[in-house]
Amino acid sequence: MYKPESRIAEEFISHSEILATLEYARENKNNRPLIESLIEKAALCKGLSHREAAVLLECEETDLIERIYQLARDIKQKFYGNRIVMFAPLYLSNYCVNGCVYCPYHFKNKTIHRKKLTQEEIAREVIALQDMGHKRLALEAGEDPRNNPIEYILESIQTIYGIHHKNGAIRRVNVNIAATTVENYRKLKDAGIGTYILFQETYHKENYEALHPTGPKSNYAYHTEAMDRAMEGGIDDVGLGVLFGLNTYKYDFVGLLMHAEHLEAAFGVGPHTISVPRICPAEDISLQSFPDAISDEIFCKIVAVIRIAVPYTGMIISTRESAATRKKVLELGISQISGGSRTSVGGYATPEMPEENSAQFDISDTRTLDEVVNWLLDLKHLPSFCTACYRLGRTGDRFMSLVKTGQIANCCAPNALMTLKEYLQDYASPDTYAKGIQLIEEEIQHIPNPKIKEIAMRNLKEIEEGKRDFRF
């Protein structure tokens, strides 16, 4: 029985409903009148149901696929403009008690080098990240109650927020750790985290259990219901994601949208972000073991249809993907990307030696943050280091209402320009600086509110004179 408002995993992620949806989508993949009506409905920017989105994903009509892509571009522009939020992951520890067959952190892996950062090492990593120009981090850690207890995560967050080096500061810490209790989510909320991120990996219960044979993560219901507990613990910004390639992409695509619908139905607030990682090679992990790995073409289509179906959500892509692939999907819906990333434990202050091999997965985009920013500027995207909404309490339903009404642009555009100016003044190479200043001069003219435009221009001047941290 499919019940989107239910708190029971197998009711809000209904296997029978997913199968029925996939069958309906297959039957209508060439139904032009239906597909055209869904494109017209999506153009109203109110989103689509999981079943409607599945039809668009199945669509085989070349001209209609292009219309889907164009609509995704239009919706991305409407809600997020040309802004791309920058972040970096920081891996604290790769100790893990789970047996996930696709992850090199699995406890049976005896070749990976196990590491855990001390608070002193975390401080050095944060200084290195600040010296790159980062303002937003995503904390990562394996699940290990003895080595990585919640107290360690909380202490690490406190350390990160406490480091101010030159003009650097980490202003938002997002956390990607294992499913936990309502009490622990309250502790994370009290620690001042931004978004709580947890990937489902796959929504297919049988396959999920096969992929997670041992450890706490093997409990499908406990893992799938984690976002409910996070919301109950006061965290109102949560991030969903699946690891495409673990299961058939169509099944997980539908499950992902059903999860978003469940959060809306149960809490009145959908996911703050949706991530779209794909399975990739890593220590002790081969792609040959995963026949459901997806092509670039399918990947682009998934991004575009998610953007159409959940227009308000931020969409994240990591350095798993190559520069070429990231370029393709930026305009189709992606609003956040990482830059200069390390997937090893630490690795920013001192690059990891090959023999240490603590990384969770191989990086495809190995460029520095400055190179990524320069590249974005060339593409006329606006790199943003903004964290204002989180720091001003515009989270959860308050953030969503601003996004859904289009009012967020009055904040986001000037904040993006001001944080980019901070980056240019403090960290950019000469070439990046020149390109960034030119883009700021162009973009400042597009701020529609004269008063906000006036204040933004004044703040930009003061940033040049040494002042920092302006925000609307």
Q: Is residue 61 one of the residues assigned to a domain?
A: no
Per-residue model confidence as pLDDT tens digits over 350-406:
887 776 676 665 678 889 999 999 999 999 999 999 998 878 888 877 787 777 777
pLDDT score recorded for residue 113? 87
Indicate if 332 and 421 belong to the same structural domain.
no
Q: Is residue 20 one of the residues assigned to a domain?
A: no
Q: Is residue 28 one of the residues assigned to a domain?
A: no
Q: Is residue 382 one of the residues assigned to a domain?
A: no
Indicate if 273 and 338 belong to the same structural domain.
yes
Q: Which domain holds residue 197?
A: 77-366
Indicate if 411 and 293 belong to the same structural domain.
no
Dihedral angle over CA of 335, 341, 342, 347, nearest 10: -140
Indicate if 165 and 102 belong to the same structural domain.
yes
Indicate if 409 and 355 belong to the same structural domain.
no
Indicate if 302 and 444 belong to the same structural domain.
no
Q: Is residue 393 one of the residues assigned to a domain?
A: no
Using the structure block, give the residue that is written with the tokens 């989105």: 53
pLDDT score recorded for residue 290? 75
Indicate if 218 and 142 belong to the same structural domain.
yes
Q: Is residue 25 one of the residues assigned to a domain?
A: no
Indicate if 204 and 348 belong to the same structural domain.
yes
pLDDT score recorded for residue 362? 67
Indicate if 415 and 361 belong to the same structural domain.
no
pLDDT score recorded for residue 365? 86
When the pLDDT of each residue in the chain is averaged and rounded to a whole number, the result is 93
Residues 361, 282 contacting (CB under 8 angstroms): yes
CATH of the domain at 154: 3.20.20.70
Per-residue model confidence as pLDDT tens digits over 171-197:
999 999 999 999 999 999 999 999 999
Q: Splitting the chain (472 residues) into consecutive groups of 10 residues, what average pLDDT does each group show?
A: 96 98 98 98 97 98 97 95 96 96 86 94 98 98 97 98 96 97 98 97 97 97 98 97 95 98 97 91 59 90 98 92 92 95 91 70 84 97 91 81 74 94 98 98 92 94 94 86
Q: Pick from 317, 342, 366: which residue ends a domain?
A: 366
Structural domain count, the chain: 2
Whether pTM exceeds 0.75: yes
pLDDT score recorded for residue 253? 98
Indicate if 216 and 293 belong to the same structural domain.
yes
pLDDT score recorded for residue 359? 64
Indicate if 356 and 411 belong to the same structural domain.
no
Q: Is residue 446 one of the residues assigned to a domain?
A: yes
Indicate if 421 and 330 belong to the same structural domain.
no
Q: Is residue 37 one of the residues assigned to a domain?
A: no
Q: Specify whether the backbone of 366 is left (phi greater than 0), alpha (psi in -120 to 50) or beta.
A: alpha
